């Protein structure tokens, strides 16, 4: 018995009868993620997911790193498994954690015993192993109050496990257990973060990008594809839908009053997103909107934009400061790509004096020169679909 990864499930253990479904999703997501790295056995027992290598040379380091990003896991630990016998456990602790013990300023042993048939209590086992270890590592004193290093022992049904402190997982809920949403993905800083936040709540995403070639370049599209690939690591496999947006924007420019350009454009985005959502079984639309950040993000502008929708719009960034969004973007690894200097369709034909407090009737009147249905159908017919998966 040897090196293993223990994964502690997060909120899903609170979900009562749905727990099995959540857990199955989580196991599926973990298996799918690991299948790109090597052959691993993944199973669950007692609210813990176990990952074992199934072939020699399976890269446990890579597996551990990848699993840190899987939603639905609160803690991860590399552990050594052994027989449930006090001296075998002690020997395993020396072999597996000896280096850490030798380097630590102080230590203690902490035991959790879920197999109550084990002959020693948790305290007895901690005392036994702690005493023996302090004989073997005399330079590292025991400190039960504030130890520098903790030797964890778990006595479970299948085996005993020895490990150091667990690290934090990505948290959230397993992707796929809370339905599907269309997420509007620009090349900016905000929308990768809003996508991440909603996926973290267990939602499978369909990223949608509106592309205005040649006003926005091929590189701008490549940037969005790259952001999608970065997001695929935590969010799972996705299909990016690239919607041709040029004709719609030209029609707006040619036929509508300038101050309404952005609002009308955003209403088209919403209509198209909703059509894609209904067609692909998604139940909400996610955007990176943030109150007051740009002219189209006043409450009145958002109301005029969302008036074309029946589906709810999820805006997880709506009350955040830019700095908070930027620090999240850095943390999830999308920031550096987001700041590459390619234009977005929102910056094409921007009005000099956009309406910030539009009335719906005015927007509808401004839009009335367009054949909305025909433009929507034309854009939908031209969608390009790009599969996204992590490396």
Determine, following the binding rule CB under 6 A, whether residue 241 of this chain makes contact with ligand ATP.
no
| Rounded Cα gap, residues 231 and 389, in angstroms | 9
Q: Is 50 in the site for ligand ATP (CB under 6 A)?
A: no
- Of 330-369, binders to ligand ATP (CB under 6 A) are 344-346
298 binds ligand ATP (CB under 6 A): no
Choose, by CB under 6 A, the member of 186, 274, 298, 334 that binds ligand ATP.
186
> Rule CB under 6 A: is residue 265 a binding residue for ligand ATP?
no
> 29 or 186: whose CB is closer to ligand ATP?
186
Q: Specify the 3-state DSSP secondary structure of 207.
A: strand
Residues that bind Mg ion (CB under 5 A): 186, 188, 344, 346
- Pick the closer one to ligand ATP by CB: 54 or 279: 279
Query: Sign of the CA dihedral 131, 129, 8, 63?
Result: positive
The correct pick among 111, 126, 246, 287 for binding ligand ATP (CB under 6 A) is: 287
Name which of ligand ATP, Mg ion, none residue 114 binds, using a CB cut-off of 5 to 8 Å depending on partner kind: none
* Number of residues near ligand ATP (by CB under 6 A): 19
Question: How many angstroms separate the Cα of 170 from the Cα of each of 10, 61, 185, 217?
Answer: 10, 17, 22, 34
Distance from C-alpha of 211 to C-alpha of 386, rounded to nearest angstrom: 13
Count of CB atoms within 10 A of residue 156's CB? Answer: 19
Using the rule CB under 6 A, which residue among 210, 260, 261, 268 binds ligand ATP?
210
Rounded to the nearest whole angstrom, what is the least distance from the CB of residue 121 to ligand ATP in the complex?
A: 55
Strand residues in the chain grouped as ranges (E): 3-9, 40-45, 48-53, 73-82, 107-113, 149-155, 160-163, 167-171, 180-184, 204-211, 238-244, 285-286, 313-314, 384-388
Nearer to ligand ATP, 291 or 365 (CB): 291
Do residues 112 and 155 lie in contact, with contact meaning Cβ atoms separated by under 8 Å?
A: yes
Residues that bind ligand ATP (CB under 6 A): 184-186, 188-191, 208-210, 287-289, 293-294, 296, 344-346
């Amino acid at each position: 018995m040897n090196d293993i990864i223990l994964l502690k499930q997060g909120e899903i253990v609170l979900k009562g009868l749905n727990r099995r479904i959540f857990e199955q999703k989580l196991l599926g997501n973990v298996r799918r993620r690991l299948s790109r790295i090597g052959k691993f056995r993944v199973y669950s027992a007692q609210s813990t997911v176990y990952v074992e290598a199934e072939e020699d040379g399976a890269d446990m380091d890579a597996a551990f790193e990848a699993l840190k990003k899987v939603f639905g896991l609160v803690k991860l630990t590399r552990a050594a498994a052994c027989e449930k016998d006090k001296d075998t456990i002690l020997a395993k602790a020396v072999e597996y954690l000896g280096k850490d013990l030798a380097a630590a300023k102080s230590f203690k042993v902490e035991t959790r015993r879920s197999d109550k048939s084990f002959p020693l209590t948790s305290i007895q086992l901690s005392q036994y192993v702690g005493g023996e270890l302090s004989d073997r590592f005399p330079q590292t004193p025991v400190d039960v109050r504030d130890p520098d290093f903790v030797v964890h022992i778990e006595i479970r049904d299948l085996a005993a496990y020895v490990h150091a402190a667990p690290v934090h997982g990505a948290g959230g809920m397993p992707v796929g257990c809370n339905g599907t949403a269309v997420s509007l993905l620009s090349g900016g800083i905000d929308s990768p973060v809003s996508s991440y936040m909603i996926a973290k709540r267990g939602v499978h995403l369909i990223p949608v990008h509106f592309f205005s070639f040649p006003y926005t370049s091929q590189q701008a599209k490549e940037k969005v594809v790259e952001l999608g690939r970065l997001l695929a690591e935590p969010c799972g496999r996705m299909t990016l839908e690239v919607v041709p947006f040029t004709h719609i924007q030209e029609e707006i420019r040619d036929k509508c009053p300038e101050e309404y350009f952005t609002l009308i454009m955003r209403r088209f985005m919403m209509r198209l997103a909703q059509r894609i959502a209904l067609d692909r079984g998604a139940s909400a639309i996610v955007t990176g909107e943030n109150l007051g950040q740009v002219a189209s993000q006043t409450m009145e502008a958002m109301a005029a934009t969302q008036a074309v929708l029946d589906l709810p719009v999820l805006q997880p960034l709506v009350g955040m400061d830019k700095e908070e969004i930027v620090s999240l973007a850095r943390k999830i690894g999308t920031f550096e790509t987001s700041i590459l200097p390619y234009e977005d369709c929102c910056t094409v034909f921007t009005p000099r004096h956009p309406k910030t407090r539009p009335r719906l009737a005015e927007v509808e009147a401004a839009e009335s020169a367009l054949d909305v249905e025909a433009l929507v159908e034309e854009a939908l017919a031209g969608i390009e679909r790009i599969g996204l998966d992590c490396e």
